[in-house]
């Protein structure tokens, strides 16, 4: 039996070894986490991910992923599907006290990029990625809250004429109640609130309740866009429509509900002060006579079908069917154009939506 005095003399060495081991583990932790994350993100089906660096702050129960990048293979654009300079993962102490490890994710200045495909280049749509599984790969903890701060969302078409870049800027979004969405059997428990500037100018708001972990989630969606200057959308209109608007403002309201793979809702576009073509400028240059004729027809239709009292051209386009292929009621949409013009002008407000029938 060893003398207690000998043990008393050795305990500082054991303490020193434990301290050295703790410091070494702390220094190695970011590198180990980076290797672990990049291994999990290396294969995401048609996508691959990468993290440039990891910074750990044990004292506040958080770590930062720096240079997060999710790239689609064979994409029509060089832009990654998702990129953010900093993504912070922080443990919620309020949940930890109750015996569960729950975390919050905050993405700083992220950029999400979608794109049209072209020939052998694939469209970049985000399909094929299980986003809930991707969050699980980024953190071993259960996520209850996801925040986006100063984000961007872009849609590119680099092969159209002219090229198209439709974007949302200053995106501020909060997705809450994810933990209950995972545990609870009731649908539509997670809540997304989003605000942004469309084309760096017009305010867009979105309100979504959904179960993000369901294969065919039930959801309720409301989106409102107010006061977008249509001139900012000229490249997209020139690329995808025969019309070339030069002046006016656009309000858009979208409301949709989904249940068991079915969706129903409506889109309500309202143009105010719309001017389809500037004849003085058009006649000064060399233009395709067919394009001039199309714009002339558009100008006449705008004049005839707008509500003269409000200088407004508007309609309500209902849609329904399967969520991956909804059908637009064209007859109702045209009838609503006439109703707005000659009966009563539409207002930029939401309506009460019924739950869609199962297909």
pLDDT tens for 2-14 read 555 554 555 665 6
Indicate the pLDDT class of residue 345, thresholds 50, 70 and 90.
low
pLDDT higher than threshold 70 for residue 236: yes
pLDDT higher than threshold 80 for residue 351: no
Same domain, 179 and 243: no
- Do the beta carbons of residue 179 and residue 144 sit within 8 Å? yes
Same domain, 208 and 242: no
Last residue of a domain, one of 190, 214, 238: 214
pLDDT of residue 63: 84
Same domain, 208 and 330: no
- Do the beta carbons of residue 113 and residue 156 sit within 8 Å? yes
pLDDT of residue 201: 92
Domain presence at residue 94 = yes
Last residue of a domain, one of 155, 179, 214: 214
pLDDT of residue 221: 92
Same domain, 238 and 289: yes
Q: At what angle do helices 131-138 and 4-41 cross, to 10 degrees?
A: 150
pLDDT of residue 273: 83
- Do the beta carbons of residue 302 and residue 276 sit within 8 Å? yes
pLDDT of residue 156: 94
d(CA 254, CA 265): 7
Domain presence at residue 264 = yes
pLDDT digits (tens, 9 = 90+) for 252-269: 999 998 888 888 899 888
pTM: 0.78
Average pLDDT over residues 73-85: 90
Same domain, 117 and 154: yes
Average pLDDT over residues 152-181: 88
Residue in the block written with tokens 């909804």: 326
Domain presence at residue 114 = yes
pLDDT higher than threshold 90 for residue 339: no
Check residues 96 and 325 and name the one with the higher pLDDT. 325
Name the token pair of 183: 């545990």
pLDDT higher than threshold 60 for residue 287: no
pLDDT of residue 279: 47
Domain presence at residue 22 = no
Percent above pLDDT 70 for the chain: 67
Check residues 214 and 152 and name the one with the higher pLDDT. 152
Indicate the pLDDT class of residue 110, thresholds 50, 70 and 90.
very high
Same domain, 171 and 260: no
Same domain, 202 and 234: no
Torsion of CA 123, 128, 131, 134, to 10 degrees: -110
Domain presence at residue 225 = no
Domain presence at residue 19 = no
pLDDT higher than threshold 80 for residue 216: no
Same domain, 243 and 292: yes
DSSP-derived 3-state class of residue 228: strand
pLDDT higher than threshold 50 for residue 111: yes
d(CA 214, CA 250): 35
pLDDT higher than threshold 90 for residue 332: no
pLDDT of residue 226: 93
Domain presence at residue 310 = yes
Last residue of a domain, one of 182, 214, 246: 214
Domain presence at residue 5 = no
pLDDT higher than threshold 60 for residue 180: no
Same domain, 53 and 131: yes
Q: Mind giving me the DSSP string for 72-100? A: ETTBSSSS-SEEEEEEEEEE-HHHHHTT-
In the chain, the number of structural domains is: 2
Same domain, 76 and 119: yes
pLDDT of residue 359: 47
pLDDT of residue 222: 94
pLDDT of residue 341: 60
- Pairing outcome for strands 312-314 and 62-72: unpaired
Same domain, 170 and 260: no
Its domain, for residue 328, covers 230-359
Same domain, 91 and 179: yes
pLDDT of residue 202: 93
- Do the beta carbons of residue 44 and residue 134 sit within 8 Å? yes
């Amino acid at each position: 039996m060893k003398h207690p005095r000998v043990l008393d003399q050795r305990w500082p060495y054991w303490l020193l070894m434990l301290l050295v081991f703790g410091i070494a583990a702390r220094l190695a932790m970011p590198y180990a986490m980076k290797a672990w994350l990049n291994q999990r993100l290396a294969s995401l089906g048609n996508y691959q991910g990468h993290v440039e660096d990891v910074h750990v702050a044990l004292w506040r129960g958080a770590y930062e992923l720096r240079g997060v990048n999710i790239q689609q293979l064979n994409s029509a654009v060089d832009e990654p599907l998702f990129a953010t300079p900093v993504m912070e993962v922080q443990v919620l102490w309020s949940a930890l006290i109750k015996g569960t490890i729950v975390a919050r994710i905050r993405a700083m200045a992220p950029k999400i990029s979608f794109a049209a495909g072209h020939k052998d280049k694939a469209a970049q749509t985000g399909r094929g990625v299980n986003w809930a599984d991707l969050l699980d790969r980024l953190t071993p903890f259960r996520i209850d809250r996801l925040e986006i701060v100063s984000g961007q969302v872009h849609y590119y078409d680099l092969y159209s004429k002219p090229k198209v870049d439709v974007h949302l800027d200053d995106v501020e979004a909060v997705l809450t109640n994810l933990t209950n969405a995972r545990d609870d059997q009731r649908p539509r428990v997670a809540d997304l609130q989003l605000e942004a500037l469309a084309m760096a100018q017009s305010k867009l708001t979105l309100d979504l309740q959904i179960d993000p972990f369901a294969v065919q989630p039930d959801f309720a969606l409301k989106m409102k866009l107010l006061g977008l200057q249509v001139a900012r959308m000229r490249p997209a209109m020139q690329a995808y429509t025969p019309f070339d608007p030069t002046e006016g403002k656009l309000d858009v309201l979208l409301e949709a509900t989904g249940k068991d793979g079915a969706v129903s809702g409506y889109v309500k576009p309202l143009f105010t002060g719309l001017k389809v073509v500037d004849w003085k400028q058009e006649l000064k240059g060399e233009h395709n006579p067919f394009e001039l004729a199309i714009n002339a027809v558009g100008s006449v239709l705008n004049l005839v079908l707008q509500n003269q009292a409000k200088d407004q051209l508007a309609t309500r386009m209902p849609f329904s069917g399967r969520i991956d292929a909804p059908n637009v009621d064209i007859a109702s949409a045209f009838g609503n154009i006439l109703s707005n013009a000659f009966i009563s002008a539409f207002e930029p407000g939401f309506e009460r939506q019924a739950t869609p029938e199962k297909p």
